[in-house]
Structure 1
């Protein structure tokens, strides 16, 4: 009998997230990937040129544990906890995705049309990554944090600016996928 892996149910993963958030708040820390990137930039010496990165990165070493945990956790999840069966999608979703140029819809979580070396090294893929990376970096800085920081840390500590930022992230995502994405692909 083959064991089929299922996603962790909310009543398991939810309390884990709550415990981590409680511990971070208790120790005066916040969670967010953009703060990790700031730490890496500070380590690399960006503070010599940009005041924003001019801080003692040693006080933020715990951020590096978050990055390592994300990498190791992603590896473990992909290689040991993934269920390699097809993704169940409605026929309407499959038809819409095929109209947008996706093939083998539902065969993978990451479509090869977007997540392959051929897509990255093409001019279109390079421009999308470059412009998208700049916009994400600018938006993260402008919003005072990233989606994970605002949605997990900010909302759990009842911060109104984080609620506004999360609403903005969702509106931006809806605009992107329904208005801009069909033009690009």
Structure 2
């Protein structure tokens, strides 16, 4: 049963995603996490102040359950199914990250400098998280969906706007990691 503690290879997770997407397509549903923010705002009365939030949020209950499942699944995986082994990445990358101040690079899956409680002790990190959160939220709304919605659902529906968005996500990621990340850290 040790396989449950290891990352699953693409030939297992890929077909599982395919089966999930096929079931959603046959059910007439579109997958995406960012649409849950609109649903949550509507549930809290956002429709009283903005027409964008005027829709039947009950039709999206299934997607709220997916969101809750993703949060619970992440919690369970991190706290009960994680063997806390170091990530197998290139030693040169580990050295570069450690030189930038990420001392935990190579020893844990997510650097504690950004994802641990110590991130909240640095004003710089808090500001970066707030700015990053704003850009992610704005980008998801402006692009008409998030990375999961466009890359998984949109591409499986052969939607050209999703292909353009995914290409933009990759270009943005490359710019961030190669140009902006070294400047920030």
Give TM-score scaled by structure 2 length: 0.92
8 Å contact kept, 1:41–1:53:
yes
8 Å contact kept, 1:150–1:163:
yes
How many residues align structurally?
A: 184
Could you tell me which residue of structure 2 aligns to residue 125 of structure 1? Answer: 125
Please say which of residues 78-87 and 124-133 is displaced more in the overlay. 78-87
Q: Which runs of 5+ in 2 are unaligned?
A: none
Using the alignment, how far apart are the partners of 1:115 and 1:10 within structure 2?
25
8 Å contact kept, 1:39–1:63:
no
8 Å contact kept, 2:34–2:146:
yes
Could you tell me which residue of structure 2 aligns to residue 15 of structure 1? Answer: 15
Listed as ranges, the matches of 1:1-185 within 5 Å are: 3=2, 5-185=5-185
Using the alignment, how far apart are the partners of 1:91 and 1:81 within structure 2?
26
- What is the CA distance between 1:8 and its match in structure 2? 1.8
Please say which of residues 31-40 and 9-18 is displaced more in the overlay. 9-18
Using the alignment, how far apart are the partners of 1:48 and 1:68 within structure 2?
26
Give a deviation string over 1:42-95, Cα, whole Å, max 9, x none. Answer: 111122222212212111111111111101211222233323222222221111
Give a deviation string over 1:143-178, Cα, whole Å, max 9, x none. Answer: 110000000001111111101100100100111111
8 Å contact kept, 2:104–2:112:
no
Provide the alpha-carbon RMSD of the alignment: 1.7
Please say which of residues 157-166 and 68-77 is displaced more in the overlay. 68-77
Give TM-score scaled by structure 1 length: 0.92
Using the alignment, how far apart are the partners of 1:45 and 1:123 within structure 2?
33
Give a deviation string over 1:101-129, Cα, whole Å, max 9, x none. Answer: 11132111111111123323432122112
SS at match of 1:61: helix
Q: Which runs of 5+ in 1 are unaligned?
A: none
8 Å contact kept, 2:84–2:109:
no
Residues 39 and 82 of structure 1, relative CA distance in 2, 3 Å threshold: same
